[in-house]
């Protein structure tokens, strides 16, 4: 079965490498799971691809495989360590097998907005985390922003008690499991590519995600509505393998990492507006968006925030304090 699945996966990807890349170019396959337009990651990946192919022509050639067409996030890091793919940008929630440091980004209500996330990532602690998986063979190149998470379900969610007994899809993160348990939900880890079908078929009742993911994968079509909780964040690590990066000629590596830094700055500055446009697109398409009063939102804070205590040891109280200082 595995073999057949592999062949099927490869068959859906045209032999673009040989068609688009020239002999002698270093081929960079970049696998990710979201859609390409109206999405912070999708548009950042496209700009990176365009700039590498324009400016490094003859030296390097990048092909982006979006929408989980090459690997889903549960497989891509293993594939990277085997040299089958060179670049990926999984959410920070998906690195649990490699490091617990990123758990700080999953703790509910840790960051007020994406600017606070950006400032934490730019600090020495945040920059140090880019190197935290080197022993495991992975090198973080940059943080790429998505945005704040919202809650959705097949029933209206106003109070956290409305989530009691509901099944929620979560990314592969124990923090997110604990968060959903805190609101009385029953969490199920699931790959992003399976969420729409699972919501549609009632395998799960709800999920949490950013406006751009809810719009891009049309989750709003199979949910009663989306409640604007802004309770957490989805952000990405642009990641490669230590071996691949170390194996690049120094001048090629420098040019590549310079382009990565420039693309990161450009696209990260647009992530909030991309998400707000996606929110509007959901409303325009007939999706229901519910906003909470400050008191209503405070009830979500009070219910979810106690999960911090469980993970303080993993993420470090000093990091929690630093993140809170940035918020204030």
**Does the protein bind ligand LMR through residue 34 (CB under 6 A)?**
yes
- Decide whether 192 or 256 has the Cβ nearer to ligand LMR: 192
Of the residues 163, 198, 234, 307, which one makes contact with ligand LMR according to CB under 6 A: 234
How far apart are CB 148 and ligand LMR at their closest, in Å?
13
Of the residues 98, 105, 192, 219, which one makes contact with ligand LMR according to CB under 6 A: 192
Number of residues forming the site for ligand LMR (CB under 6 A): 9
- Decide whether 61 or 264 has the Cβ nearer to ligand LMR: 264
- Decide whether 67 or 296 has the Cβ nearer to ligand LMR: 67
Q: Give the CA diameter of the chain.
A: 62
How far apart are CB 202 and ligand LMR at their closest, in Å?
19
Count of H-run helices and E-run strands, the chain? 15, 9
Is the distance from CB of 45 to CB of 66 less than 8 angstroms?
yes
Residues whose CB is less than 8 angstroms from the CB of residue 240 and which lie 6 or more positions away in sequence, other chains included: 80, 86, 87, 88, 138, 139, 141
How far is the CA of 24 from the CAs of 60, 244, 251, 254, in angstroms? Answer: 8, 16, 16, 18
- Decide whether 32 or 51 has the Cβ nearer to ligand LMR: 32
d(CA 176, CA 167): 13
169: which strand partners?
Answer: 188, 207
Of the residues 86, 121, 139, 209, which one makes contact with ligand LMR according to CB under 6 A: 209
Is the distance from CB of 25 to CB of 59 less than 8 angstroms?
yes
**Does the protein bind ligand LMR through residue 271 (CB under 6 A)?**
no
d(CA 37, CA 25): 27
Q: How many CA atoms lie within 13 A of 203 on its CB side?
A: 13
Q: Mapped to the 3 state alphabet, what secondary structure does 96-140 carry?
A: CCCCCHHHHHCCCCCCCCHHHHHHHHHCHHHHHHCCCCHHHCEEE
> Could you say which DSSP state residue 203 is in?
S
Of the residues 74, 152, 213, 319, which one makes contact with ligand LMR according to CB under 6 A: 213
Calculate Rg over the CA atoms of the chain: 20
How far apart are CB 115 and ligand LMR at their closest, in Å?
19
How far apart are CB 192 and ligand LMR at their closest, in Å?
3
**Does the protein bind ligand LMR through residue 223 (CB under 6 A)?**
no
**Does the protein bind ligand LMR through residue 33 (CB under 6 A)?**
yes
How far apart are CB 99 and ligand LMR at their closest, in Å?
16
Helix (H, G, I), strand (E, B) or coil at 1: coil
Residues whose CB is less than 8 angstroms from the CB of residue 80 and which lie 6 or more positions away in sequence, other chains included: 86, 88, 138, 239, 240, 241
For the segment 126-165, give every residue that binds ligand LMR (CB under 6 A): 146
**Does the protein bind ligand LMR through residue 307 (CB under 6 A)?**
no
- Decide whether 31 or 319 has the Cβ nearer to ligand LMR: 31
How far apart are CB 168 and ligand LMR at their closest, in Å?
12
For the segment 161-190, give every residue that binds ligand LMR (CB under 6 A): 171
Of the residues 31, 86, 91, 173, which one makes contact with ligand LMR according to CB under 6 A: 91
- Decide whether 66 or 225 has the Cβ nearer to ligand LMR: 66
The residues of the shown chain that bind ligand LMR, judged by CB under 6 A, are 33-34, 91, 146, 171, 192, 209, 213, 234
């Amino acid at each position: 079965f595995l073999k057949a699945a592999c062949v099927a996966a490869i068959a859906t990807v045209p032999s673009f490498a040989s068609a688009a890349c020239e002999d002698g170019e270093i081929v960079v396959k970049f696998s990710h799971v979201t859609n390409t337009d109206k999405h912070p990651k999708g548009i950042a990946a496209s700009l990176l691809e365009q700039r590498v192919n324009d400016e490094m022509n003859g030296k390097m050639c990048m092909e982006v495989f979006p929408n989980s067409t090459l690997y889903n996030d549960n497989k891509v890091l293993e594939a990277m360590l085997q040299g089958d793919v060179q670049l990926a940008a999984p959410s920070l929630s998906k690195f649990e097998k490699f490091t617990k440091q990123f758990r700080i980004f999953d703790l509910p209500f840790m960051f007020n907005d994406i600017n606070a996330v950006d400032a934490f990532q730019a600090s020495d602690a945040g920059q140090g985390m880019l190197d935290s998986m080197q022993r495991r063979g992975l090198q973080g190149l940059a943080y790429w922003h998505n945005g704040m998470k919202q809650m959705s379900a097949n029933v209206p969610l106003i109070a956290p008690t409305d989530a009691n007994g509901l099944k929620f899809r979560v990314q592969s993160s124990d923090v997110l499991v604990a968060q959903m348990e805190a609101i009385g939900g029953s969490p199920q880890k699931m790959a992003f590519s399976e969420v729409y079908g699972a919501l549609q078929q009632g395998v799960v009742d709800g999920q949490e995600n950013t406006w751009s993911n809810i719009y891009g994968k049309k989750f709003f079509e199979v949910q009663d509505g989306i409640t604007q909780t802004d309770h957490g964040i989805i952000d990405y690590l642009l990641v490669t393998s230590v071996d691949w990066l170390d194996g690049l000629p120094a001048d090629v590596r420098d040019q590549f990492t310079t382009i990565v830094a420039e693309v990161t700055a450009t696209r990260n500055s647009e992530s909030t507006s991309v998400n707000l446009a996606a929110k509007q697109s959901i409303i325009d398409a007939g999706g229901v968006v519910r906003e909470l009063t400050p008191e209503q939102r405070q009830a979500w804070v009070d219910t979810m925030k106690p999960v911090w205590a469980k993970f303080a040891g993993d993420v470090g109280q000093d990091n929690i304090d630093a993140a809170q200082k940035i918020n204030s």
